[in-house]
Amino acid sequence: MVNVSQAEVDLYEVLGIANSANKDEIRKAYRKAALASHPDKVPEAEREEAEIKFKAVQEAYDILYDEDKRHLYDTHGMGAFNGSGEPGMGAGPDLDDILAQMFGGMGGMGGMPGMGGMPGGPRANKPRRSPNEEQKYEVKMEDLYKGKTVKFASTKNVICSLCQGKGGKEKAQAKQCATCGGQGVKQVLNQMGQFLTTSTVPCSTCNGEGEFFSPKDKCKKCKGKKTTEERKILEIYIPRGAREGDKIILEGEADQVPGQEPGDIVFHIVEEDHPVFRRAGSDLTATIDVTVAEALTGFSRVVVKHLDGRGIELQHPKKPGDVLSPGQVLKVPGEGMPMKRGDERGDLYLVVNIKFPDQNWKPSPEVLEKLKEMLPRPDAPIQADTVDEVDYDPKGDLDEFGARDAHGGSAWEDDDDEGEPAQCAAQ
Ligand SMILES: [Zn+2]
Ligand SMILES: [Zn+2]
């Protein structure tokens, strides 16, 4: 294992330059060496080796290109850069910046082992269960009301039926992985601030198994992968009354991994918005439209179609002479969502929206005069010393309310208003 932080490696040798090289020569040598050993540019099998070399090249450059650090290295060797409290280390060039300039950002290096927190570890730490598959499942409110059985096709990895998850032919023996010596893991160099450290990652040659079958010994069906894909029809039951965040678990239906108990598929219920009903727990609310005439004189009709398709009929008024007001709430007990246990249900809250006549209503002056006579009179006039009769815009918009003072900073900003920027510029 090469570790330039600890072993006495000649940094000049790493870059292939003379001890007398000037800064320009160091930079050129670094570019050449870094490009030659860049892990993205080599075949998969040589990648880890290339990465170690690449890191060594980076560190050599980092130290030799900085005059202070180079002096330290020339006089004290790598020992000057180990441990904490390194002298004069604060002002060095940022390696990430240099790499970003050379390779157009760190994005391309995301796939390099050892750069981030790689999951998995030595073979001994393998989990006993394969991971659960968590997924969201959107459900219509109608289906949450009634309950529903859903069938769907799922493709999952199952243990190969030919080799029973061995990966090789019946009598074949797996070979120990030479890359990791059968450990399933490898040490790689990581950059920690200015320095290189080693960390343990799964071996890429054997996929962390520590052994593998030679091509001729591989199982014909799974080609050594130990698992095959299988399409299966799965069925889940969404119980009536289920709600957002509820989990539906299909035990043992996650991908199978040799030597592990299969994990579960877990559906997290997400409630779809409904055009009519809104839900809070087991209660429902909906807005019902009622005409002015109905509000005043009464009605007997279906006001809303429930989630199971039933018409919900109301009789108004309950007491002769009662009038419905805008925003009045009519509570219908027991017509909310079903509870998960038992036969009880929540309640339904109907909010009254009085529909006033629109432009299409063209009453004659006589009708209006009669209405005026029939309907309640206005309150006593407001008393004032002076009275101004003013003009008005019948289509005022409350969104504009206060918008003129938005520049003051404390008022709200109206981002949707496209006219706003031009207005700002003009002032
Ligand atoms: Zn197989
Ligand atoms: Zn290996």
Q: Which residue do the tokens 């459900």 mark?
A: 139
Confidence at residue 320, expressed as pLDDT on a 0 to 100 scale: 93
pLDDT at 114 over 50: no
Q: Tell me: pLDDT of 416 over 90.
A: no
* Cα 121 to ligand 2 centre (Å): 12
* In 128-246, alpha helices (H): 141-146
Q: Is 81:194 a contact under the CB 8 Å cutoff?
A: yes
The per-residue pLDDT for range 316-350, each reduced to its tens digit, is 999 999 999 999 999 999 999 999 888 899 999 99
How far apart CA 264 and CA 119 sit, in angstroms, is: 20
Q: How many other C-beta atoms can be found within 10 angstroms of the C-beta atom of residue 424?
A: 10
pLDDT exceeds 60 at position 422: no
- Per-residue model confidence as pLDDT tens digits over 150-187: 998 888 999 999 999 889 998 888 888 888 888 888 88
pLDDT at 408: 53
Q: Give residue 96's pLDDT.
A: 44
Q: 192-217: buried (b, 16+ CB within 10 Å) or exposed (e) per residue?
A: eebbbebbbbbbebbebbbbbbeeeb
Nearest CA-CA partner of 226 in 258, 255, 263, 261: 258
User: What does the pLDDT average to over 104-110?
Assistant: 35
- pLDDT score recorded for residue 362: 94
Asked if the model's pLDDT at residue 142 lies above 80, the reply is yes
Q: Round to whole Å and give the CA distance between 133 and 254.
A: 6
Mean pLDDT, residues 353-360 taken together:
94
Does pLDDT of 140 surpass 50?
yes
Tell me the average pLDDT of the chain.
80
Sheet of 247-250: strand order equals 133-139, 265-271, 247-250
Listed in sequence order, the DSSP H helices in 10-146 are 11-15, 23-36, 47-65, 67-76, 95-103, 141-146
pLDDT band at 426 (very low <50, low <70, confident <90, very high): very low
Report whether pLDDT(149) > 90: yes
**Per-residue confidence at 126, pLDDT binned at 50, 70, 90?**
low
Distance 184 CA to ligand 2 centre (A): 5
- What ranges do the domains of the chain cover? 11-78, 277-355
CA-based R_g, the chain, Å:
38
Residue 2 predicted with pLDDT over 60: no
- Least confident range from 208-212, 217-221, 225-229, 395-399: namely 208-212
Distance 120 CA to ligand 2 centre (A): 14
Distance 99 CA to ligand 1 centre (A): 43
Ligand 1 centroid to Cα of residue 215, in Å, is 13
**What number of other Cβ atoms are within 10 A of residue 388's Cβ?**
5
What does the pLDDT read at residue 340?
80
List the single range of 2-16, 36-50, 375-389 with lowest mean pLDDT.
2-16
Provide CB contacts within 8 A for 212, sequence distance 6+: 167, 174, 175, 177, 205, 206, 224
The rounded Å distance from CA 305 to ligand 2 centre is: 64
- Which CATH class, in words, describes the domain spanning 277-355? mainly beta
Compute the distance from residue 239 Cα to the ligand 1 centre, in Å: 39
pLDDT at 351: 98
Question: Pairing between strand 265-271 and 133-139?
Answer: parallel
Please give the distance, rounded to the nearest whole angstrom, from the Cα atom of residue 265 to the centre of ligand 1.
Answer: 24
CATH of 11-78, one of 3.40.50.10860, 1.10.240.10, 2.60.40.1180, 1.10.287.110: 1.10.287.110
pLDDT at 418 over 70: no
pLDDT score at 21:
86
Rounded distance between C-alpha atoms, residue 44 and residue 207, angstroms: 12
Q: Which is higher by pLDDT, 91 or 398?
A: 398
Q: Tell me the per-residue pLDDT of 183-205, one tens digit each, with 9 for 90 and over.
A: 888 887 777 777 777 788 888 88
Residue 100 has pLDDT above 60, yes or no: no
Confidence at residue 88, expressed as pLDDT on a 0 to 100 scale: 37
Higher pLDDT, 315 or 19: 315
pLDDT of residue 82: 52
Nearest to 75 by CA among 67, 194, 59, 17: 67
162 Cα–ligand 1 center, Å? 5
Burial of 238 (0-12, 13-18, 19+ CB in 10 A): buried
37 has a pLDDT exceeding 90: no
Helix, strand or coil for residue 175? strand
Mean pLDDT of 219-242: 91
Rounded mean pLDDT of 12-19? Answer: 84
Where is pLDDT greater, at 180 or 71?
A: 180
- pLDDT at site 415: 52
pLDDT higher than 80, residue 7? no
Question: Rounded to the nearest whole angstrom, what is the distance from the C-alpha of residue 191 to the centroid of ligand 2?
Answer: 23
43 Cα–ligand 2 center, Å: 16
